[in-house]
Amino acid sequence: MSKLKIIVGTTRPTRNADRVVTWVEAAAAAYGAFEVEVLDLRDWPLPFFAEHFGTVGDINDPAYSQPIVKAWNRAIQDSDAYLVVTGEYNHSIPGALKNAIDTVWLSNGFRNKPVAAVGYSAGIGGGIRALEHLAQIMVETEAVPLRNTVVMPFANDAFADSGRPTNPATDAALQVLLDDLAWWSTALERARAAGELVPGRNRLRDLILKAETAGVPTA
């Protein structure tokens, strides 16, 4: 089974995230393809990013500035797939979520793994702008952001007392997302097992170094 981590992107008191995550977690567990764990940023009070090469130590087992930073990098590394649940803050993802993604530093935790996302907002946008930003951000981590998302407009009224979304299209969208996540997770697990490329930035650095050593002008 693929290991799936559901990342809860908002932390404020009274957040709508709780109802969304309860529904998403139950659906992901019932789907049958995943060993599901929730990483709630409320339980991960990460410091604002303050790492530098002096905090890293052994690059193969970085120490980082605080134990929680190391633990967070490990928690992200120890997964095959991710499902981010986030509200929209000022047309983007919440700062706490961006910081948590930035904190996965030098460990390549997200690399070559699929990331799906469920967005919601108080207005008609349903979190779509946050999800678009998230996809851009995840590309830089070398994760594979997925096309099919769930968007939930008018989040304050999006759930019935049963805990199910009032709009049946929302349930359907989550099933499509889980299908994609399971397919990509299996595909990328196989691909990673067959061998991964060295990260592009390292290959680029090595090629430039080689060209410089050979005396070939690089500019």
Ligand X SMILES: Cc1cc2nc3c(=O)[nH]c(=O)nc-3n(C[C@H](O)[C@H](O)[C@H](O)COP(=O)(O)O)c2cc1C
Residues 87-116 that bind ligand X (CB under 6 A): 87-91
SS3 content of the chain, % helix, strand, coil (to 5): 45, 15, 40
Q: Which of 76, 101, 152, 155 binds ligand X (CB under 6 A)?
A: 155
Residue 134 CB, nearest approach to ligand X (Å): 14
Q: Which of 33, 38, 75, 122 binds ligand X (CB under 6 A)?
A: 122
Q: Which of 2, 79, 121, 141 binds ligand X (CB under 6 A)?
A: 121
Residue 27 CB, nearest approach to ligand X (Å): 18
Q: What is the DSSP letter of 41?
A: G
Of 90 and 162, which CB lies nearer to ligand X in the complex structure? Answer: 90
Stretch that binds ligand X, among 9-17, 161-169, 175-183, 206-214 (CB under 6 A): 9-17
Residue 88 CB, nearest approach to ligand X (Å): 4
108 Rama sector, left if φ>0, alpha if ψ -120 to 50, beta otherwise: left
Residues 10-29 that bind ligand X (CB under 6 A): 10, 12, 15-17
- What is the signed CA dihedral for 121, 167, 128, 43, rounded to 10 degrees? 50
Asked whether 109 and 132 are in contact (CB, 8 A), the reply is no
Sign of the Cα pseudo-torsion (94, 99, 104, 105, in order):
positive
36/32 Cα distance (integer angstroms): 10
Of 91 and 210, which CB lies nearer to ligand X in the complex structure? Answer: 91
Q: How many residues bind ligand X (CB under 6 A)?
A: 16
Of 120 and 184, which CB lies nearer to ligand X in the complex structure? Answer: 120
Give 188: exposed, middle or buried? Use CB within 10 Å, 0-12, 13-18, 19+: buried
Residue 136 CB, nearest approach to ligand X (Å): 16
Tokens of 134: 């998230």
Q: Which residue is nearest to ligand X (CB)?
A: 87
Of 51 and 88, which CB lies nearer to ligand X in the complex structure? Answer: 88
90/49 Cα distance (integer angstroms): 21
Of 49 and 154, which CB lies nearer to ligand X in the complex structure? Answer: 154
Which ranges in 108-163 belong to alpha helices (H)?
A: 128-140
Of 41 and 116, which CB lies nearer to ligand X in the complex structure? Answer: 41
Residues at the site binding ligand X, with contacts judged by CB under 6 A: 10, 12, 15-17, 87-91, 120-123, 125, 155
